[in-house]
Amino acid sequence: MTRKLSLLLTLVLTLLIVPSVVAEKVVTISTQDIQLVYKVDKNNKLRQCYFGEAIASGAEQALMTKHDAYPTFGTSYVNEPALRAVHADGNTSTELVYVSHKTESKGDGIEYTEIALKDSYFPFNVTLCFNAYAKENVIEAWTVISHSEKKPVMLYNYASSHLFFQEEKYYLTQFYGEWADEMHMTEMQLTRGIKSLESKLGVRSNQHAHACFFLGLDAPAQENAGRVLGGTLAWPGSWKLTFDVDNLDNLHVICGINSFAGQYQLAKGEVFETPKMLYSYSNNGTGDITRNFHRWGKKYGIWRGDRTRTTLLNNWEATYFNFNEEILSKIIADASDMGFELFLLDDGWFGEKYPRNNDDAGLGDWMVNRAKLPNGIGYLVEEATRNGIKFGIWLEPEMVNPRSELYEKHPDWVITQPNREIDLSRNQLILDLCNPKVQDYVFGVIDNTLTENPGIAYVKWDCNRFVTNSGSFYLSADKQSHLWIEYVRGLYSVFERVRANHPEVSIMLCSGGGGRIDYASLRYFDEFWISDNTDAYNRIFIQWGTTQFFPAMALASHVSASPCHQTGRVTPLKFRFDVAMSAKLGMDIQPMNMTEEEKAFSKNAIKEYYTFREIVQHGDLYRLLSPYTNPRTAMMYVSEDKQDAVVFTYLLEKVINGGNNQVLYLKGLDPNKTYRLNELNKEPNKWSWFNELEGKSFTGEYLMKYGIRFPMYNQYESKIIRLTAE
Ligand code: DGJ
C-alpha cells in the first residue's frame, strides 16, 4: 500500500470509529447575559455543560464539563436524583435518553425551549422546559412527565430542575423565619453532603422558611461583585431546595415540590407538570439578581405589576375584633382626612349564629354580623365613597372554625384524618380544596362578597394555618398522598376563577403575615403582607430580606402604634413612616388615639409619599449599607430613566462620640447627570445634619464616588433624601 493510500484509509477509519470529532448536538438557553448549555453525548444522554455568564456564540462545542441534565434514580451516579419513578412492572430505575428539542419565540424577548427525553426501555417521557427572559435575565425551568405504560407509574421524586456546578467552594444564603419574624438571611459555606432547605407545611408553607436562595460561586455572595446564582420556586405548597456537594466536590442543586409523603400515582396519558423554578445569575453580585427578579416580577410575576399601588389604613391593629359601624365610620373619615386612598376592614365583620368576636368562631360563615354592622358592608362602602376613598375587606376563604355553621353542615370538607382528634391551629381547620365542591364554595365566598357589594376595591386574602393530619375525605385511600398537590391545583383554580370575574379588584396575599409569598401565587395578587410584626426596627430586616427577591411595590408596610403591639418597642413616628414609605405605605393605627401633631405629621408624610412612590414602586433597588453588618443601613431606588432617585437611611444604634459617619456611596445614577438633593418627610422645626447638603446639586459621578456624607446620632434616626436630575 502506498503512503498516500494508507493516510487516506486512516482518515476514513478515524471519521468512522471516533464519532467524537463529529459535532455534538448542543441546546442553548440564553438571556442577554446568562446561558445554560446542554449537549447530547455519544450515548444519546443529555448533559449539562455550563451555567453562567453568556459565552461567545459558537464556543459551546468546546465546553467540557458534563453531567446528567436531569439525574434519575437507578442509572445516574448521584446522591439525590431529580426523578425517582417506579414503573408499571415494578422496575425502580429510569434511564433517560434524548429524543428531540425545539425552541420557539414567545415574543417580548421570551424564548421557550423544550428538550424531550424518554426512558430507554419504557414508554415514559420527561420533557425539560425553559422560558428564557432575555431582557430580565431570568430563566424559568420546569419538567413535564407522562407515560403510556400499562398501569400507573408511581412518582416519588419529581424535581422542577437540576443544576450542576464545578467550583472550588460554594456559599449558600438561605432565608428563614417564623411568625412575626420572617425573611431573615444567613450565609454558610457548603461542605460535603446534603443541605436541604424545605417546607413540609403544605399550606402557609413559608412560615418557617422561604423557597429562595443565593449561591456564591467560589466566594461568599457580595452585593456588587462576584459570581452568584439566585433562585426561587414558584409554588405555594411544600417545597424543597437541595444542595448536594458530592464526593468530587461538585455541587448539585435540585429544586422543586417537596415530595416527602407525596408520592404521585401517574395514570397512563396523564400529564404531570412541575412548578416553575426561577433562576437569575450575575457576575456582579446579588444586587443585579435582585433587580433582575424585580423587573421580571413586575412584568410577568405579579398581577398588574405595572400599576401604582394605593395607600391604605387597616383597622386590624387599630381595633382588632372590637368595632362597630360608628367606630369604623369615624376611622374611615380620619383615614380620608389624613390622605389615605383606601380603608381596609379586617377580621371580625362576619358570622351570624357564631359571631366572629375573637378567633375561635365564625370562620366559614361569610354573612355580615348585624350586631356590629346593622347596615351591612354596603353602608361602609358608601361611607368610604362619601369620604372620597376606596373600601377593602378581609377574607380567609380557605379556612373554617369548628364553631361555625359551615362546619356543622360539612364536617367532611376539612383536611383531617379519620379516627384522629381534630388538630386545631388558631382554632381553625383547612378546607379541603382537593374537593371541587369546596373549590366552588371558596370561590363563591369571594365572588359573592364582591358581587353583593360592588364598590369593594380591595381584598385581603388571609390564610392562617398549615397542614397537619393530612387526610382528604375527597381523595380515594390510595391517593391520599396526592393531597399536597391537589390542594394547590384547587387553589390555583379558585385564583383563576376569581381573577376571571374580578380583574380590577386589588388583592393582597396574606398568610398570618408572610406565610405564602411565591411567584406562582403572586401572578394573581397585587401585593402581599410580609409580616404581622409591624415594628419598624424589625421591619428593616424583614423587608431587607424580602426585597432580595420580591419588589417593594408589592410589599405592604404599615405604620403602627408605639409602643409596638408585637414587641413593645418605642420608636419615633418619623422612623415608622420612613420605614413604611420605603415600600407600599399603609397604616394600622386607630386615628382616635393619635395626637393632633401626629395626625398633622402623618398627613404631610402621606402627601410627600405621593411625590416619590412611583420611584419606590417602579424604580430599581440599590442596596447601600446592610443592617446585618452596619449600625446604619441604607438603600435607594432609581427611576428607569435615572432622572429621579430616593435614598432611605436608618440608624439602628445610638452613637455617642462624633455620630455615625458612614458614607452613602450612591449607586445606579447617571454619572453625567446633575442631581439636586432635598430631604423629605422632615420633622417640623427640627435642625438636621443634612441641612448643609439641602438643595445642593452634585453630579451622579460625584454622588457615586464621593457619596453623601452627614452624621447620624440617635437610635431610630432616619432620613429620606430625594434626588432630582436638573
Ligand atoms: C393574620 C394577618 O396577618 C393579620 O394582618 C390579620 O389580618 C389577622 N390575621 C386577622 O385575623
Instruction: From the CA of 346, give the closest atom in ligand 1.
Output: 7
Q: What is the mean pLDDT of residues 258-282?
A: 98
- Within 8 A by CB and 6+ apart from 1, the residues are 9
The alpha carbon torsion through 653, 655, 661, 663 (nearest 10 deg) reads: -10
Nearest Cα residue to atom 9 of ligand 1: 512
Detail the DSSP E strand segments found in 616-673: 620-625, 632-638, 644-651
Residue position matching grid coordinates 441641612: 691
Report the share of the chain in percent with pLDDT over 70.
97
CA 589 to ligand 1 center in whole angstroms: 14
Q: What is the mean pLDDT of residues 308-315?
A: 98
Report the share of the chain in percent with pLDDT over 90.
94
Q: What is the mean pLDDT of residues 352-378?
A: 98
Residue 347, ligand 1, Cβ within 6 A: yes
CA 389 to ligand 1 center in whole angstroms: 22
Give the CA count within 13 Å in the CB-facing half-sphere of 46.
Answer: 28
Query: 19 pLDDT exceeds 80?
Result: no
Nearest to 303 by CA among 486, 525, 502: 525
C-alpha to C-alpha distances, 195 to 170, 233, 246, 254, 260, nearest whole angstrom: 12, 17, 11, 11, 16
Residue 514, ligand 1, Cβ within 6 A: no
Confidence at 219, pLDDT banded by 50, 70, 90: very high
Q: What is the mean pLDDT of residues 187-203?
A: 98
Contact 620, 290 (CB under 8 A): no
CA 333 to ligand 1 center in whole angstroms: 23
Residue 512, ligand 1, Cβ within 6 A: yes
440 a catalytic residue: no
Query: 216 pLDDT exceeds 90?
Result: yes
Q: Which of 181, 288, 365, 532 is catalytic?
A: 532
Three-state SS at 61:
helix
Residue 362, ligand 1, Cβ within 6 A: no
Per-residue cell: 39: 449537549
Strand order in the sheet with 46-53: 25-30, 34-40, 46-53, 67-68
Phi, psi of 345 (to 5 degrees): -85, 120
DSSP state letters, 327-377 = HHHHHHHHHHHHT-SEEEE-S-SB-SSS--SSTTS-TT--SB-TTT-TTHH
Query: 3 pLDDT exceeds 90?
Result: no
Residue 346, ligand 1, Cβ within 6 A: yes
Per-residue cell: 124: 415514559
CA 359, chain centre distance (Å):
28
CA 512 to ligand 1 center in whole angstroms: 5
CA 26 to ligand 1 center in whole angstroms: 51
Q: What is the value of pTM for the model shown?
A: 0.96
Contact 711, 632 (CB under 8 A): no
Helix residue ranges, H only, 388-482: 405-409, 436-452
Q: Tell me which of 323, 464, 527 to substitute to probe ligand 1's pocket, judged by most ligand atoms within 8 Å of the beta carbon.
A: 464
CA 610 to ligand 1 center in whole angstroms: 26
Nearest Cα residue to atom 5 of ligand 1: 532
Contact 671, 701 (CB under 8 A): yes
Confidence at 24, pLDDT banded by 50, 70, 90: confident
Query: What are residue 400's DSSP bridge partners?
Result: 429
Nearest Cα residue to atom 2 of ligand 1: 512
Per the model's pLDDT, the better-predicted residue between 657 and 226 turns out to be: 226
Residue 394, ligand 1, Cβ within 6 A: yes
462 a catalytic residue: yes
CA 462 to ligand 1 center in whole angstroms: 7
Q: What is the mean pLDDT of residues 481-491?
A: 98
Q: What is the mean pLDDT of residues 478-490?
A: 98
Q: Tell me which of 313, 317, 346, 509 to substitute to probe ligand 1's pocket, judged by most ligand atoms within 8 Å of the beta carbon.
A: 346
Residue pLDDT, tens place only, 598-610: 999 999 999 999 9
Element (H, E) at 217: strand 209-217
Instruction: From the CA of 531, give the closest atom in ligand 1.
Output: 3
d(C-alpha 96, C-alpha 507), whole Å: 43
Residue pLDDT, tens place only, 493-547: 999 999 999 999 999 999 999 999 999 999 999 999 999 999 999 999 999 999 9
d(C-alpha 66, C-alpha 539), whole Å: 44
CA 371 to ligand 1 center in whole angstroms: 22
Q: Tell me which of 347, 363, 400, 539 to substitute to probe ligand 1's pocket, judged by most ligand atoms within 8 Å of the beta carbon.
A: 347
pLDDT of res. 646: 99
Residue 462, ligand 1, Cβ within 6 A: yes
Per the model's pLDDT, the better-predicted residue between 22 and 481 turns out to be: 481
Residue 529, ligand 1, Cβ within 6 A: yes
Nearest to 73 by CA among 150, 163, 157: 157
Nearest to 203 by CA among 526, 461, 557, 410: 461
Which pairs from 447-454 meet CB under 8 Å and 24+ separation? 447/497, 447/498, 447/501, 447/502, 448/366, 449/366, 449/377, 449/393, 449/395, 450/501, 450/502, 450/505, 452/377, 452/378, 453/376, 453/377, 453/378, 453/381, 453/393
The alpha carbon torsion through 253, 256, 261, 263 (nearest 10 deg) reads: -110
Residue 464, ligand 1, Cβ within 6 A: yes
Instruction: From the CA of 510, give the closest atom in ligand 1.
Output: 3
Provide the b/e sequence for 394-426 (b: ≥16 CB within 10 Å). bbbbbbbbbbbbbbeebeebbbbeeeeeeeeee
Nearest Cα residue to atom 11 of ligand 1: 347
d(C-alpha 211, C-alpha 546), whole Å: 11
Nearest Cα residue to atom 1 of ligand 1: 512
d(C-alpha 10, C-alpha 15), whole Å: 9
Residue 316, ligand 1, Cβ within 6 A: yes
Confidence at 2, pLDDT banded by 50, 70, 90: very low
Instruction: From the CA of 511, give the closest atom in ligand 1.
Output: 3
Q: Which of 33, 181, 288, 462 is catalytic?
A: 462
Residue pLDDT, tens place only, 536-591: 999 999 999 999 999 999 999 999 999 999 999 999 999 999 999 999 999 999 99
Q: What is the mean pLDDT of residues 224-249?
A: 98
d(C-alpha 163, C-alpha 243), whole Å: 10
CA 191 to ligand 1 center in whole angstroms: 40
Nearest Cα residue to atom 6 of ligand 1: 316
Residue pLDDT, tens place only, 109-147: 999 999 999 999 999 999 999 999 999 999 999 999 999
Three-state SS at 647:
strand
Residue 513, ligand 1, Cβ within 6 A: yes
Contact 360, 366 (CB under 8 A): no
CA 179 to ligand 1 center in whole angstroms: 11
Contact 489, 262 (CB under 8 A): no
Residue 182, ligand 1, Cβ within 6 A: no
Instruction: Work out the widest C-alpha separation in the chain, in whole angstroms.
Output: 109
Q: Tell me which of 394, 395, 426, 565 to substitute to probe ligand 1's pocket, judged by most ligand atoms within 8 Å of the beta carbon.
A: 394
Contact 544, 627 (CB under 8 A): yes
Residue pLDDT, tens place only, 89-102: 999 999 999 999 99
CA 320 to ligand 1 center in whole angstroms: 9
pLDDT of res. 66: 82
pLDDT of res. 560: 98
Confidence at 63, pLDDT banded by 50, 70, 90: confident
Instruction: From the CA of 532, give the closest atom in ligand 1.
Output: 3
Residue position matching grid coordinates 426512558: 119
CA 397 to ligand 1 center in whole angstroms: 13
Confidence at 22, pLDDT banded by 50, 70, 90: low
Query: 21 pLDDT exceeds 70?
Result: no
Contact 246, 79 (CB under 8 A): yes
Per the model's pLDDT, the better-predicted residue between 722 and 12 turns out to be: 722
